[in-house]
A and B are shown apart, each in its own frame.
Chain A
């Protein structure tokens, strides 16, 4: 009987822990949602900050984050997908692939602030871009590269071998097979990886601190060499170093909520797509 009681206690604790985690998530999301929803309206989303960021909206930060997401994808998607194609379709399973894979795995483990340091030293100072959208995008692109490579590799590997042999049997060359057969069937999975990295890029703060982010800009950025405001950095500024931290607290809640909604939207979208794809694959 004794061991039965022990088991019951242990299992009760584990259930409690699981509930606790759900509670933590709900309290974080709920807290920000309840406080943030009060300030979010159309004006908040479409106007610039006013009165030392204690009033007005966050439009420039939304625009800046959008530019950074697009900019980093322009850089990271072609490079990531192409190197995934190279490692899966061309390089076989030799030493080079193992090396590349090890390197990209390690790239994923580097803290984001180190990317920020590197971006500042190379793009901002050495190449002379200054604090600019292009420097920030390249830094963020580098950060998402491992995500895109890994998901693309998995997507390519998931394409059944019979597709390839079938295509070859019809007389298609290797490139034709990749372009006409493999890529189209791997595309949805690759897309999932890209969506995932959109979520990641829009939430990152440390890499943009010294490469692009501006405390406040009177106008929207007009070229890839201008600075930009960005949502995560804006939240950081509002929370810690605004002109009047207490007065800008409501705006900070609103910014946090917008940021969370963007990030979670992309995460959920990716999860949803993946689930649908898995179902489809099972049906085949």
Chain B
């Protein structure tokens, strides 16, 4: 009886384990997306602050980009954002302290809101950036300026990533996305010829003894932790790149892609080699019997036969490179600007998450933006792994 019950219990336990691992990934994605989607409902201004304008101002709403440009003095006239043809007067809370003494503002600044209100009322072209704690009493002459929610295009097409800018941070993913793409594709360009060459050598030329020696070496290469690659890149590769190309700093997109190329090699080699070894013996021998040399056989028979496996290796390699965090974080210099040259510093999506999540307050807009980046990364790598699977399953013949 006890035995029977325990049998049932164990069987249930096994089923539950299977179910948990099956849904783990769904769970992860739901969680990521839940946090990330919140980004689009978040205010685009730093928490605890509001913007105020004169009540007569026809502008009721501005986007975060417009606000940023106003406070950077790139937009100086209300006309540019659809208002009257008047110069914009920026007002920050510090200015009130220069105008009034501490006594005039009260011991606990209890008179501050009133004074701020007067200040805003007095100038109809003013835009004031004030902590909500000292929010001016909303009388006739003042209104709160609404800020548009961040939109999909703000996020995906925005060209500036300035998550800590005040009063209005910008979350444009474009520079990060292009940076990731540049570094990963460059890495594959370096790694592919090298990886294919080694794969051909391993599957076609090397004798069993050398194969047995080379295979573990390549496996060791994939075993080295990425932070060690990053360290190596930092102390060896980056000074080397700096010296070779006479740059002011060695932490560039090129350095990152060189390190990534080394890291992607084991994947490319092993997948491509497997594909080549699967070429039927009969096909090779038919080719050799027709008088082709071994090399002709390799590039006319083996490589075409292994085409899908090789493509899968490339896709997998890129997918791996896109998701790689630590090594890239340590050697690319992390400037979140649109990449213009391979000798400039870039920043990738995973590196951004790693560098900024620690400073972003939980639940804030910045935090949510980083989760949204995580979602993007998740989707990209997922797509790459599915493509690789489809390609490698496709039969050529």
Q: Give the interface of A toward B (CB within 8 A).
A: 3-4, 6-7, 10-11, 13-18, 20-22, 24-25, 28-29, 31-32, 78-80, 82-83, 85-87, 90-91, 96, 99-100, 103-107, 109-118, 120-122, 125, 142, 145, 149, 173, 175, 199, 202-206, 209-210, 232-233, 235-236, 239-240, 249, 252, 256, 259-260, 263-264, 267-268, 271
Told that A103-B26, A113-B354 touch, could you supply 17 new A-B pairs with CB distance under 8 A?
A17-B197, A18-B197, A21-B217, A90-B14, A90-B18, A104-B21, A110-B28, A113-B350, A113-B377, A118-B32, A125-B362, A202-B225, A203-B223, A209-B354, A236-B330, A252-B231, A260-B225
B225 touches A111 (CB 8 A): no
Q: Kindly supply a per-residue 1/0 record for chain B positions 194-237, scoring 1 wherever the CB is within 8 Å of any chain A CB and 0 otherwise.
A: 10011011100110000000101111110111111111101110
B interface residues, tally (CB under 8 Å)? 80
The chain A residue with its CB closest to the CB of B384 is A109
B138 at the interface (CB under 8 A from A): no
A28 touches B31 (CB 8 A): no
In the bound complex, what is the Cα–Cα distance between A113 and B348 (angstroms)? Answer: 12
The listed residue (A28, A111, A142, A175) touching B325 by CB distance below 8 A is: A111
Q: Kindly supply a per-residue 1/0 record for chain B positions 88-122, scoring 1 wherever the CB is within 8 Å of any chain A CB and 0 otherwise.
A: 00000000000000000000000000000000000
- Interface of B: prevailing SS: helix
A204 touches B194 (CB 8 A): no
The listed residue (B35, B201, B205, B219) touching A121 by CB distance below 8 A is: B35
B232 touches A28 (CB 8 A): yes
Q: Known interface pairs A107-B24, A232-B227. Does A13 touch B197 (Cβ–Cβ under 8 Å)?
A: yes
A14 touches B201 (CB 8 A): yes
The listed residue (B228, B236, B325, B353) touching A203 by CB distance below 8 A is: B228
Q: How far is the CB of A147 from chain B (nearest CB, A)?
A: 12
Q: Chain B contacts of A240 at CB under 8 A?
A: 234, 330
In the bound complex, what is the Cα–Cα distance between A7 and B293 (angstroms)? Answer: 7
B370 touches A3 (CB 8 A): no
Q: Chain A contacts of B265 at CB under 8 A?
A: 21
B396 at the interface (CB under 8 A from A): no
In the bound complex, what is the Cα–Cα distance between A100 and B14 (angstroms)? Answer: 13
B214 touches A22 (CB 8 A): yes
Q: Kindly supply a per-residue 1/0 record for chain B positions 2-30, scoring 1 wherever the CB is within 8 Å of any chain A CB and 0 otherwise.
A: 00000100110111011011111110100
B295 at the interface (CB under 8 A from A): yes
A83 touches B378 (CB 8 A): no
A271 touches B17 (CB 8 A): no
In the bound complex, what is the Cα–Cα distance between A259 and B326 (angstroms)? Answer: 15
In the bound complex, what is the Cα–Cα distance between A262 and B395 (angstroms)? Answer: 41
Closest A-B pairs by Cβ, 6 of them = A111-B323, A203-B225, A7-B295, A86-B18, A17-B197, A82-B17
The chain A residue with its CB closest to the CB of B382 is A106
| Listed A/B pairs (30) with beta-carbon separation below 8 Å | A3-B293, A4-B293, A7-B293, A13-B197, A14-B198, A18-B206, A21-B198, A21-B269, A29-B220, A32-B231, A79-B20, A86-B17, A90-B15, A104-B21, A105-B389, A107-B24, A107-B25, A109-B381, A113-B350, A114-B32, A114-B323, A115-B28, A118-B31, A121-B31, A206-B350, A232-B225, A232-B326, A236-B326, A239-B231, A240-B330
Q: How far is the CB of A41 from chain B (nearest CB, A)?
A: 21
Q: Chain A contacts of B385 at CB under 8 A?
A: 105-106, 109
B382 touches A113 (CB 8 A): no
B294 at the interface (CB under 8 A from A): yes
B181 at the interface (CB under 8 A from A): no
The listed residue (A85, A114, A116, A252) touching B378 by CB distance below 8 A is: A114
The chain B residue with its CB closest to the CB of A204 is B225
Q: Chain B contacts of A203 at CB under 8 A?
A: 223-228
Q: Chain B contacts of A205 at CB under 8 A?
A: 225-227, 325-326
The chain A residue with its CB closest to the CB of B389 is A105
Q: How far is the CB of B173 from chain A (nearest CB, A)?
A: 15
Residue of A32, A106, A111 with highest tally of chain B CB at under 10 A: A111
Q: How far is the CB of A6 from chain B (nearest CB, A)?
A: 6
Q: How far is the CB of B232 from chain A (nearest CB, A)?
A: 5
In the bound complex, what is the Cα–Cα distance between A14 and B205 (angstroms)? Answer: 9
Q: Chain A contacts of B226 at CB under 8 A?
A: 203, 205-206
In the bound complex, what is the Cα–Cα distance between A129 and B348 (angstroms)? Answer: 29
Q: Chain B contacts of A21 at CB under 8 A?
A: 194, 198, 214, 217-218, 221, 265, 269
